[in-house]
Amino acid sequence: MTTAHPWKLVAPWYRWQRQITEGVAKNPRETRPAFQKFDRPDFVEGFIKDPQHSLRFKEEVDRIFNVQLVAAPIFNGGFFDKKATSFYAPKLNPKDDPKPMRANLVPTGTRKIYLETHRRYYLVVCELHCDMPGFPTASSSEVCQAGFVVRRRVLQVPDSARKPALELLRQIVALEAQVAELDETAPLKPRAAQKRHEKIEKMKADGTFGPKRAEYLQQIATKRQELQQWKDDNGVVTLHEGWVPSPFDKIGQWQLVEETPQDLLEITFPLYPLFADPTVPQHDAKGKTLYFGVIPTSTFETDPRGEARFDERTHYEIRCFVRRHEPQCPRRVDSPDCCGELVWSAPTEAYRLASQSDLQGTSNRPITIQMPDLGELAAQASHLPFGSFSPMRFVQPQSLKPTIADNALKGGAMGAQAVCFFAIPLITIVALFVLNLFLPIIVFLFGLWFLLVLKFCIPPSFQIDAALDAQLTAIPPSVDLDVDLSVSVTSQINEDLRIELSDGISDSVGLEAGKVKDDLDKYTNTPLAELHKSMAAGVKATDPATNGGKPFGPDLLAQLEFEPRVTTEVKVS
């Protein structure tokens, strides 16, 4: 093997067939570095022992979804106008009445990368070959540097051209939502997913599925052509940017860079060679030149204006590289030890970072906060030395003192310097009280009733009685846009639904039942029924008697499915 042969940096051999099957590449030479996902902090050690043992990427979890908001008609005369499935009610103008909206998740196909705080970790893995007949493995001894860079692609759009583009994007997302419904890729609760599946099967049986899907795809293609024409007409360009450091520590900037430069100006991340364990005869790295690197999800770097290097709004991609050692240069300990040729991989799939508050991500790392026992605190406070257990010191150059009269805040005053000591249980009690105090206020003021579904308490907060359950059973399971119910029956169901639900919310969070009902009157009974079912499901889940005796909480093992093992390598001519 000679250095005269060109190199190719491609996917690891056990991902070749998958990328060919998915249409990413036509042959191993065109494959790109692969992402691998893990759930353990010591994931690198596990990868070195068994490179293929990683978590499977799941479409419903590991993809970015667009949120499509559609106005939902309000309740009118006790009749089902149309189906509404959300309580999201934004106000564009403070003087406007809140408008119920239906929120749909539309898959985008973009990879979602969770954060370390979400207990997910990622590697980018690639393999080095000689680009010659047979596609032989290149020797790692000829490499003097290996690494990767994180790039982003952003559009430079004139402000005057943004409005028509936003309208086109809205139309495309709406059409993609229709395709997602037909393909059954938009997430739904089990019952709704079953109804959708039955509807799709019926369409397939009567021959309307194929033409309808083809119609939507054609409309999407047409809208994308219009979007491309908009781009050409308005001089919109795509900028390919890399992170270039400044002379100051932890400060850099996204700047235009070449796709495959020979001079590295960007900040790079290391790739490490993977050596086969000699005690494992069938190790995946045996006879291969594999490299791996940890994908960064956060850094302390910012641009000169303080904007973080990474955020959840931007699309990123990774390019791996190796530097070929020049034979005439003496070997040195430092890397790189020469100015040899840089060989670049194809860009990886585009990805976006999950937000810090991502529901799926935050549920991967549950936290238990043990609240103090008030009786025990009272006993300890009466028998222990005063001030001995107040470890948190607050030094106040000016103390702020509220004035309380008749159980209400009447004012405040600024006092002199003070040093106060607090016990941690005291701060914890007050913090939880403030949360419980302001949650109903936020829910009521902004109409964010769906937030109540994100809170469960044991004993259950919401006691929905048998009368409401009886009324809900009167609603046919197939209730949708075409409802064949008399106005009188539907009106009675709607009225009972509002009364019982408003009473339950009032008892739980302390809101006035009459005001809750007035606010819920703006919605059809379909979203109210869905809110009830979510709360009722939460009540049952939190009750060990109805949950198989198991304690309630997120199932940390539900998403942990491993990639199937590949043993046969794709033959390369």
The span from the CA of 292 to the CA of 280, in Å, is 19
Helix (H, G, I), strand (E, B) or coil at 172: helix
Report DSSP letters for 284-306, one per residue. Answer: TTTT--EEEEEPP---S-B-TT-
Q: At what angle do helices 209-233 and 162-183 cross, to 10 degrees?
A: 160
Q: What are the backbone dihedrals phi and psi of residue 125, each rounded to the nearest 5 degrees, phi first? A: -125, 135
Q: Which residues contact residue 457 at a Cβ distance below 8 angstroms, ignoring those fewer than 6 apart?
A: 542
Helix (H, G, I), strand (E, B) or coil at 203: helix
The span from the CA of 520 to the CA of 261, in Å, is 60
Prediction pTM value: 0.77
Token duo for residue 518: 């007035």
Q: Which residues contact residue 559 at a Cβ distance below 8 angstroms, ignoring those fewer than 6 apart?
A: 55, 58, 61, 360, 364
Q: Of 110, 124, 126, 149, nearest to 37 (Cα)?
A: 124
Per-residue tens of pLDDT for the chain, all 573 residues: 344 689 999 999 999 999 999 999 999 999 999 999 999 999 999 999 999 999 999 988 999 988 877 776 555 443 333 333 445 445 556 666 656 677 778 888 899 999 999 999 999 999 999 999 999 999 998 999 999 999 998 888 777 777 888 888 888 888 888 888 888 887 777 777 888 899 999 999 999 999 999 998 999 889 888 888 888 888 777 888 999 999 999 999 999 999 999 999 999 999 999 999 998 889 999 999 999 999 999 989 999 999 999 999 999 999 999 999 888 888 777 778 788 899 999 999 999 999 999 989 998 888 888 888 888 888 888 777 776 778 888 888 888 888 877 777 778 888 888 888 888 889 999 999 888 888 878 877 776 777 777 776 654 444 444 344 444 444 444 434 333 334 344 455 556 666 766 776 666 656 676 766 676 666 655 566 666 665 555 555 545 554 455 555 566 676 688 999 998 888 888
Q: Of 359, 453, 319, 454, nearest to 65 (Cα)?
A: 359
The span from the CA of 528 to the CA of 494, in Å, is 9
Report DSSP letters for 476-511, one per residue. Answer: -TT-SSS----HHHHHHHHHHHHHHHHHHHHHHH--
3-state helix/strand/coil string of 416-464: CCEEEEECHHHHHHHHHHHHHHHHHHHHHHHCCHHHHHHCCCCCCCCCC
Neighbours of 37 (CB within 10 A): 21
The helix (run of H) or strand (run of E) holding residue 351 is strand 351-353
The span from the CA of 286 to the CA of 495, in Å, is 70
First to last CA, the chain: 17
Token duo for residue 68: 């499509």
Q: What is the amino acid identity at position 268?
A: T
Q: Of 181, 73, 71, nearest to 525 (Cα)?
A: 73
Token duo for residue 522: 């703006």
- Judge contact between 195 and 478, C-beta under 8 A: yes
Q: Which residues contact residue 357 at a Cβ distance below 8 angstroms, ignoring those fewer than 6 apart?
A: none
The span from the CA of 49 to the CA of 277, in Å, is 7
The span from the CA of 550 to the CA of 541, in Å, is 9
Domain map (residue ranges) of the chain: 7-157+236-363, 442-553
pLDDT at 107: 85
Neighbours of 176 (CB within 10 A): 22
The span from the CA of 219 to the CA of 203, in Å, is 20
Q: Which residues contact residue 255 at a Cβ distance below 8 angstroms, ignoring those fewer than 6 apart?
A: 241, 242, 243, 244
The span from the CA of 318 to the CA of 11, in Å, is 13
Q: Of 84, 89, 85, nearest to 73 (Cα)?
A: 84
- Judge contact between 85 and 525, C-beta under 8 A: no
252: region left, alpha or beta (phi > 0 left; psi from -120 to 50 alpha): beta
The span from the CA of 62 to the CA of 110, in Å, is 9
Q: Of 527, 462, 544, nearest to 87 (Cα)?
A: 527
Residue with tokens 């037909």: 182
CA angle 216, 222, 226 (to 5 degrees): 140
176: region left, alpha or beta (phi > 0 left; psi from -120 to 50 alpha): alpha
> Please, what sign has the CA dihedral across residues 54, 55, 56, 62?
negative
The span from the CA of 227 to the CA of 205, in Å, is 35
The span from the CA of 371 to the CA of 424, in Å, is 11
Token duo for residue 445: 């003021």
The helix (run of H) or strand (run of E) holding residue 214 is helix 209-233
pLDDT at 317: 97
Q: Which residues contact residue 442 at a Cβ distance below 8 angstroms, ignoring those fewer than 6 apart?
A: 448, 451
Residue with tokens 């198989």: 548
The helix (run of H) or strand (run of E) holding residue 471 is helix 466-473
Residue 446's Cβ-count burial label (10 Å; 0-12, 13-18, 19+) is middle
- Judge contact between 509 and 443, C-beta under 8 A: yes
Residue with tokens 């810090």: 356
The span from the CA of 74 to the CA of 99, in Å, is 8
